[in-house]
């Protein structure tokens, strides 16, 4: 039989061109696992890293233990990301349960929705919603829901966002200095830096990443035009002698973190979320929050303690819960994680 459709005729197998050097600078070379080669993916995971285009959920067992999702529960994952936690919660709330997954990111959300659908979670059990979690009360109202049994927020950015140089979060690879979780809203980091005055930048670096050299950095960076991430990283290194080893420079990371928090107005969203939380939980409902730096954890701790004192939460985590040493070793990105939980009074 002659096959006349060129799209379906067998193509000669082409080997993917391999990078032959030792220190790849290009994202595509470094992240060969993008191609889905199982051997490379296994090697990446064994090295404590995350295969590109995926996200390894953090402290899953601990999150499930504190949230205790059960069949029939209404759950909200406020930071759906790759859907790693959502997938585990979904497996425990059926039959009869439903999970609403929110994410601010219009690029990754449809991919995660499609991934969870292929795992069998249809619209009767899982709804994906592109939204900021600051608006959780409105989202529940739109779904005719008065409150949730379990709520999860795993703060910050996903590995997919960090690892994609085109999003501008990457310290390692050059890309446009953007950093918006939702690139359709707000201003890219380049515009924020170009407009900001030294005093405001100093404050931002001190408040959002506890930067010890905030004044010195602010003087050098405020009002400057950086169209991509690498020149910014180089400018930071020019101000301060490099403190870290290899790729890791803590000052560069703190500058990037502060900018990302500012660009996405992350603390305002977290404060609104924490204020709204009690009204979004059913009596007896539980919330778990994973945070990744002191500015986030301070806010969560203060809010939980204040609501506990006022009798709004019947119980809260007395101590912060940390990833096991084994998890920290097997997933380097889990190392700074801190988990806190609270339960609404019956
Ligand atoms: C650490 S990842 C979550 C990973 C997820 N738990 C998993 O297992 O795949 C954080 C996600 O939250 C989203 N996000 C951050 N702040 C948000 C906000 N204020 N509202 C909605 N989504 C937010 C980010 O876009 C990102 O996808």
Is-above-0.85 flag for pTM? yes
Confidence (pLDDT) at 22: 42
State how far Cα 210 lies from the chain centre: 20
Q: Is the dihedral of CA 35, 58, 165, 23 positive or negative?
A: negative
* Mean per-residue pLDDT of the chain: 89
Phi and psi at 121, nearest 5°, equal: -90, 100
Confidence (pLDDT) at 335: 95
> pLDDT exceeding 90 applies to what percent of the chain?
79
Q: Is 254 in the pocket of ligand 1 (CB under 6 A)?
A: no
pLDDT band of 248, cuts 50, 70, 90? confident
Tell me which architecture the domain covering 60-159+266-344 has in CATH: 3-Layer(aba) Sandwich (3.40)
User: Are the beta carbons of 278 and 344 closer than 8 angstroms?
Assistant: yes
Ranges 66-75, 153-162, 193-202, 241-250: which has the least confidence: 241-250
pLDDT band of 240, cuts 50, 70, 90? confident
Query: Which residue out of 158, 164, 288, 290 has the highest number of ligand 1 atoms within 8 Å of its CB and is therefore the one to mutate?
Result: 158
Burial of residue 255 (number of CB atoms within 10 Å: 0-12, 13-18, 19+):
buried
Distance 82 CA to ligand 1 centre (A): 9
Q: In CATH terms, are 60-159+266-344 and 182-263 the same topology?
A: no
Q: Is 84 in the pocket of ligand 1 (CB under 6 A)?
A: yes
Confidence (pLDDT) at 117: 98
Give the residue, by CA position, lying nearest to ligand 1 atom 4. Answer: 81
Domain ranges of the chain: 60-159+266-344, 182-263
Confidence (pLDDT) at 24: 46
Superfamily per CATH, domain 182-263: Putative methyltransferase TM0872, insert domain (1.10.150.170)
Q: Model confidence over 31-65: pLDDT tens digits? A: 555 555 667 666 666 666 666 677 899 999 999 99
Distance 24 CA to ligand 1 centre (A): 29
Confidence (pLDDT) at 46: 65
């Amino acid at each position: 039989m002659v096959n006349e459709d060129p799209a379906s005729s067998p193509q000669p197998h082409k080997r993917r061109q391999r990078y032959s050097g030792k220190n790849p600078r290009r994202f595509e070379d470094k992240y060969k696992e993008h191609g889905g080669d199982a051997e490379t993916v296994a090697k990446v995971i064994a090295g404590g890293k995350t295969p590109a285009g995926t996200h390894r959920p953090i402290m899953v067992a601990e999150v499930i233990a504190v949230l205790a999702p059960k069949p029939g529960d209404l759950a909200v994952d406020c930071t759906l990301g790759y859907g790693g936690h959502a997938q585990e919660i979904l497996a425990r709330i059926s039959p009869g349960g439903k999970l609403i997954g929110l994410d601010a990111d219009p690029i990754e959300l449809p991919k995660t929705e499609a991934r969870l659908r292929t795992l069998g979670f249809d619209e009767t059990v899982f709804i994906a919603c592109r939204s900021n979690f600051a608006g959780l009360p409105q989202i529940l109202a739109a779904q005719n829901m008065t409150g949730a049994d379990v709520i999860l927020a795993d703060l910050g950015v996903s590995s997919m966002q960090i690892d994609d140089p085109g999003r501008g979060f990457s310290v390692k690879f050059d890309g446009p200095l953007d950093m918006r979780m939702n690139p359709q809203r707000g201003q890219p980091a380049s515009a924020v830096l170009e407009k900001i005055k030294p005093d405001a930048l100093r404050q931002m670096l001190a408040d959002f990443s506890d930067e010890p050299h905030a004044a010195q950095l602010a003087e050098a960076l405020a009002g400057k035009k950086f169209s991509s991430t690498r020149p910014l990283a180089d400018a930071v290194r020019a101000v301060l002698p490099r403190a870290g080893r290899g790729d890791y420079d803590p000052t560069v990371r703190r500058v990037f973190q502060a900018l990302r928090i500012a660009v996405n107005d992350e603390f305002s969203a977290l404060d609104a979320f924490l204020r709204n939380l009690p009204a979004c939980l059913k009596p007896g409902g539980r919330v778990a929050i994973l945070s990744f730096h002191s500015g986030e954890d301070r806010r969560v701790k203060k809010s939980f303690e204040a609501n506990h004192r006022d009798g709004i939460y019947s119980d809260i985590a007395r101590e912060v819960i940390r990833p096991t040493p084994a998890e920290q070793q097997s997933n380097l990105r889990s190392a700074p994680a801190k988990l806190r939980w609270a339960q609404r009074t019956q």
